[in-house]
Structure 1
């Protein structure tokens, strides 16, 4: 055993930074699709918005199940060397992710049917390899540290990286694309290539900088499966509640991101405002992320999570009624995005706690099944968030590159503000009434798990402690 108490072991600033770089790299490759792929489909490929929504729906449902397969793969690994159980997937899966992300922005003159089929296939390939990369990255946290405060720090660094990636894509993608005004399709491709290259660099940084200390192989009698990943959700009440809340919050966040480019162009008549809005609102998210560890230490994860949801909802309500000018839109958006910082950060801090809860309840530690069970709900949420804007744009009468009708403008305002606000309120009710895994109970669970292991007499040890200073890359 390690001479350090796992509950008090501190991580270095360098390792926390490296971990945060992983979600920076992930989001540089993911956010270009979240923010601009629907617009690329409608404005460059000439596809109806309804078709774009269907592509998101089909591809995201597919990747929800690939997340489950990733969990089975991770939990099936019993022999792993100094590179660790999770780290190899972070690096090696990043390359096909980058290739697929870039290929999605290649224009073509195929028929509508061929365009739709090719776009769906590329999105599915992107999702498949992104599952391998990102699920391994997230499931690695319990192997890095058992200290709940350090997990909160890692979650904050992760959300900081994700926010920075989203900020860079929001602020930088369209200006790069606009440099090719005579050939907009080429601009999309060049911008995508630039961002995925930076994303690959960040994933390599993460791979080299993190360390797996508590790596656990599954017992021979435990056979992972997709069904067990589903059961991991329903037999783990805190995880189930978190999945439901996250289903709402991620859908709300992605709807807002997908519609804001349309809102700034057609409602506020200032497409360049998108970069400024992204700069200030994402800056507010970064500020919120920096405050997460201190606020969690003082008030607890659940209370901070609920407070973030309330700020989010109030910001959207104010924007719906009074966000008709650029200044007020940016101001109220900053309030809403400041609230999302606490929500999105704590989503990742709460998942490792449910891993320990599952081990306490069942005796089996299954990071992969728990984490991918959770990401299954996120992908279902993302599928709905990608589908709904495409459907709603069609329903409100959106016409690409034209002056919009009054009904279409009202529909854009409802879609970017009222829908996310309503979903945030549902998430707050769910977490407030049903999430019971607080700090005191978590500490008692960890202590009981440790006590159990002291009295176990196993022929093969389950826990492998890596106490070396540096892993071989």
Structure 2
């Protein structure tokens, strides 16, 4: 059966049948990651400090919570993906309803993760594991359908790069607001056990509203062939969809290093500002400059992709990030040079991270074309698996540095601890981005011109080895 495309008043079909999205729909898609960030970024940036400084857990215990729960989350993504792939598309689509309902539950759990009952230390640690694992499970059922949805909104290359841009803009916008507003809200309360959940609740409400904007305004326009083999895929087919998809495997490896670099940066920022720069109140200011510039910078992605292609754009950003982070480790610490270099490095990293969202939707179509089997949820879940492992890596790096260098909560830190915090903040990202650049340069084999052929074949009901039945 030949693929077809549904159109509505806000979209126009190109000559080859691809949907051209309206500006409103592209912006609204970005609101999904904007909402996502208001809940996701809190855990990545502030939960470590909450657990150690407010709940009295050791750095090693907190590292264990993050490492174990992120690995648990990673295995929940394939579960979420396969569950969603089995859903039939209803009146509101296949992905949108799951995303919306799950986001509401996620908001509630976001607040719960920043609460802690007055119990023994061992019970507090168990509570930390339980609440963050529950949060991670629901996050999978929120993020997997959201990420998969882009592959059925359009197959137009330029529109996909713009969706990736608005998604990254949404993510960075959430990082900007949470990075600037969370600590001031927290500081309004003398009892941090009250301040943390109140600040989290404010962010979670904004998150749900943002997801609702995405839900209402985005549509699943592309009707793909789901008959026969694509609906009766076996475990062997799932393996084939993931492990024969070279562009996807490249992205998985790339994300292990780019996301662990970004998350280590975010987790250590509050520690770096409080101890290395000597004032925790600098954290909102540095975040405001760093992430604010990144929000502006990523709007260059469509221009850069159009001129140089996704692969060259990603590698260039990674190289600039390597240089900026390396210099930030070597140069003696002071607020001005640190802020300038961390901003350059973060803007540079935001560009390949933004391009990644276009890469992954291309990889979904490539897998369909290469195997004759379409599994958006499972393919995106495999990609997201690597992000969860990367988050676990970042947690381990952060906790290991704090533990091994003798970090003491709310006290003056030793020279060894300060050097460790600086190394996690700057040197680790430089090394991680260097590995990511090598991975993309060597492994990625789906340039834009090849993808256009893949999209055309799928539009006409063809795949690499025959006709889609």
Q: TM-score range by the shorter chain?
A: over 0.9
In structure 2, the residue corresponding to 1:399 is in which secondary structure?
A: coil
Corresponding residue of 1:32:
42
**1:17-166 correspondence runs (5 A):** 17-77=27-87, 79-166=88-175
Q: Give the corresponding residue for 1:291.
A: 300
Counterpart Cα distance in 2 of 1:126 and 1:7? 40
When normalised by structure 1's length, the TM-score is 0.93
Q: Aligned to 1:11, which of 18, 21, 26?
A: 21
Q: What is the SS of the residue equivalent to 2:20?
A: coil
1:200 lines up with 2:200 in the alignment: no
Relative to structure 1, the CA distance from residue 125 to residue 227 in structure 2 (aligned partners, 3 Å threshold; closer, same or farther) is farther
In structure 1, C-alpha distance between the alignment counterparts of 2:16 and 2:72, rounded to whole Å:
38
Worse overlay, 38-47 or 278-287: 278-287
What is the rounded CA distance, in whole Å, between the counterparts of 1:67 and 1:228 in structure 2? Answer: 17
CA separation in 1, counterparts of 2:312 and 2:84? Answer: 33
Confirm or deny: 8 A CA contact 1:309 1:343 kept in the other structure.
yes
| Other structure's SS at 2:223 match | strand
**Superposition deviation, residue 231 in structure 1:** 4.2
Q: 1:184 and 1:318, CA in 2 relative to 1: closer, same or farther beyond 3 A?
A: same
Question: Do 1:43 and 1:401's aligned partners in 2 also have CA atoms closer than 8 Å?
Answer: yes
- Contact in 2 for aligned 1:319/1:328 (Cα 8 Å): yes
The answer to whether the 8 A contact 1:6-1:146 is kept is no
Q: Deviations over 1:140-161 (max 9, x none)?
A: 1111001011000000000000
Q: Encode CA deviations 1:112-165: one digit per residue, 9 max, x unaligned.
A: 211111111110111111111111000011110010110000000000000000
- Which of 252, 258, 263 is the matching residue for 1:254? 263
Give the superposed CA RMSD: 1.7
Aligned residues: 456
1:463 aligns to what?
none
Q: What does residue range 300-315 of structure 1 map to in structure 2 within 5 Å?
A: 300-315=309-324
TM-score by length of structure 2 reads 0.94
Deviation at 1:47, TM superposition (A): 0.3
Name the CA distance, whole Å, in 1 between partners of 2:298 and 2:234.
Answer: 35
Q: Say which of 195, 206, 224 aligns to 1:187.
A: 195
1:237 aligns to 2:246 (yes or no): yes
SS at match of 1:124: helix
Give the match's secondary structure for 1:71.
helix
**1:461 equivalent in structure 2:** none
- In structure 1, the gaps of 5 or more residues are 459-473
* 2:326 is the counterpart of 1:317: yes
Q: 2: distance between equivalents of 1:46 and 1:406?
A: 23
Which structure 2 residue ranges, 5 or more long, are not aligned? 6-12
Distance 1:356 1:80, change over 3 A: closer
Partners of 1:359 and 1:342 lie apart in 2 by 27
